[in-house]
Amino acid sequence: METEIELKFIVSPEFSSQLLNKITEAKILQQSSRELGNIYFDTPDQLLRQHDIGLRIRRFDDVYVQTLKTAGRVVAGLHQRPEYNVEIDGDTPTLALHPADAWPEGFDVDVAQQQIKPLFSTDFTRQQWLVAMPDGSQIELAYDHGEVHTNGKSSPICEVELELKSGQTDALFTLARELCADGGMRLGNLSKAARGYRLAADYQGDTPKPLTLVATTEQDTVESTFIKTLEHALEHWLYHEQIYTESQDQQALVQISQSLSLLRQTFATFGGIIPRRASALLRQELQWLEGELAWLEDANSIQALTDDKSYVLRKLNVRKSLQQQLDARYEQLPDSEDMLRLMNSARYCGLLLDLSRWILSRGWQPFLDDKSRAKLAGAIKPFADNMLSRSWRELLDAFPAERQLTRSDYLDQKPRLQRNLMCGLSFAELYDPEWRQAFRMPWFDLLQGIEDLYALEPIRQLLPLFEGDDFVQIERWLQRQNESLIHAMDQTRKMSIELAPYWP
């Protein structure tokens, strides 16, 4: 049994020339080019897939190798999976050739053997180099170009894989950083097998979903919760990046932006223990990327105002003129080509690589003293109680019950409310769900009210373009909308403040 540790990247066919130029600068121990044919197997009800098992037979020259891959772990493109290889006589699998302890407990190998059949295949040319790294590590670099196909359907394969053959995992990131320096690479979270299963099922792709709670338990330490939260945000990010590259669904970008917010808030939440200088460069790059996606708020506001099903502007005499102006502004915002170019840029890929490397190598450890290490090793519950209490005090300061808040007040406090709600994601599973939900929901309602208020900003910005009766009508309309929203938010704010916290 071996544990395969590799980074996967999606590239364009044109990337091959860029890759060859980079290879000339490396120390190459071996190189080869092969035509590889692979058949993947499963049962009709995909029993192997249900257990996160991959079974394939790979053919190269006159050699057949049967490979069993069992459940592994993926963090920001770094795939770690145990695999078992055995040479066989042909393209019919024999499951009993793999050791009994390779299979999940209770898995009936004999039943699976009787039911397995070919599901899909991949055929590609693999150009391969064994690279010697300065630290003595050896990395197998492969460029695969071909197709996955099943039942008359096909999908292209064009990817780069870096597999650690010996040495330190850190060397994978060093080489990856060098390769992505000129852009054109995007971290891949889907294996060839995963894409094959999608093709076989005629799967049309995933849909955007909101951030879920981090799976924190009372057995976690402060440090393990920190790591879980970072990995949770990264998984959410890459899930939605895949959606966007497939469908250009703008809501996937919104969720990527949410992931960035959770990452930045996590650094702030644990910043009392982990010094800011430990994450300074990462936070700087996350802030850059958030800036690249800042246009989404305006895009969503304009879409809400101009949606065919929306009746927001129906009472305004100049609604057609307003809609034309809004459409013109929308056209000036970044489009899907801009976003895909961003996702294939060197800076974007480098950020993901650096963040992944930082998590896997525990990049904060060299910045800690003994006191900080002891705090990180402590139980999470007291830390969570303390952080939630601090967050609660900030909300009380931001939304005091005795003060009348204006439109500007609410809009100014939106980032703080978002940060405080993000803070709760790391710790929410430690508390009673019913009590927690009752406390958090009114604050989410308040956030929605502020977002509805912000959605009117495009109209406010266009107001100077109008004059006379049209100007007066739009101004009065905005005032009525503002008053209605602020009245509702005032009620929600007062109710939220009166709720008893769900933590001790």
Statement: residue 409 has pLDDT above 80:
yes
Q: What is the pLDDT of residue 459?
A: 94
Closest CA to 167 of 214, 131, 220: 131
21 and 109 in a common domain? yes
At 217-269, the pLDDT tens digits run 999 999 999 999 999 999 999 999 999 999 999 999 999 999 999 999 999 99
At 155-204, the pLDDT tens digits run 999 999 999 999 999 999 999 999 999 999 999 878 888 889 999 888 88
231 and 172 in a common domain? no
Answer with the one of 201, 231, 255 that is the final residue of a domain: 201
Q: What residues are paired with 34 via a beta bridge?
A: 126
| DSSP state, residue 276 | G
504 is a domain residue? no
CATH code of the domain covering residue 282: 1.40.20.10
Q: End-to-end CA distance of the chain, in Å? A: 48
56 and 26 in a common domain? yes
Average pLDDT over residues 17-21: 90
Residue 435: half-sphere exposure toward Cβ, Cα within 13 Å: 10
85 is a domain residue? yes
435 is a domain residue? yes
227 and 186 in a common domain? no
Statement: residue 124 has pLDDT above 70:
yes
Q: What is the pLDDT of residue 462?
A: 94
Statement: residue 30 has pLDDT above 60:
yes
* Other Cβ atoms within 10 Å of 327 Cβ, number: 11
Which ranges in 181-249 belong to alpha helices (H)?
A: 192-200, 222-247
Q: Which two tokens stand for residue 153?
A: 């359907």
Answer with the one of 167, 201, 235 that is the final residue of a domain: 201
CA–CA distances in Å: residue 200 to residues 146, 149, 155, 203 = 17, 8, 11, 8
Domain count for the chain: 2
279 and 136 in a common domain? no
310 and 196 in a common domain? no
290 is a domain residue? yes
408 is a domain residue? yes
Q: What is the pLDDT of residue 190?
A: 82
Closest CA to 264 of 241, 235, 285, 286: 286
Q: Give the residue carrying structure tokens 């057995």.
A: 219
User: How many residues appear in the chain?
Assistant: 504
Q: Is 313 left (phi over 0), alpha (psi -120 to 50) or beta?
A: alpha
209 is a domain residue? no
CATH code of the domain covering residue 21: 2.40.320.10
At 433-487, the pLDDT tens digits run 999 999 999 999 999 999 999 999 999 999 999 999 999 999 999 999 999 999 9
At 279-319, the pLDDT tens digits run 999 999 999 999 999 999 999 999 988 876 556 788 888 88
264 and 160 in a common domain? no
Statement: residue 335 has pLDDT above 70:
yes
Answer with the one of 166, 201, 236 that is the final residue of a domain: 201
The domain in which residue 407 lies consists of 222-498
258 and 182 in a common domain? no
Long-range contacts of 286-294 (CB under 8 A, 24+ apart): 286/260, 286/351, 288/347, 288/351, 289/260, 289/348, 289/351, 290/257, 290/260, 290/261, 290/264, 292/342, 293/253, 293/256, 293/257, 293/260
- Using a pLDDT cut of 70, give the percent of the chain over it: 98
180 and 276 in a common domain? no
207 is a domain residue? no
Q: Which two tokens stand for residue 455?
A: 């959605």
Average pLDDT over residues 392-408: 92
128 and 245 in a common domain? no
Statement: residue 76 has pLDDT above 60:
no
Statement: residue 77 has pLDDT above 70:
no
Q: Which two tokens stand for residue 81?
A: 């999976």
172 and 258 in a common domain? no
44 and 165 in a common domain? yes
For residue 87, give the H/E element and its range: strand 78-88
212 is a domain residue? no
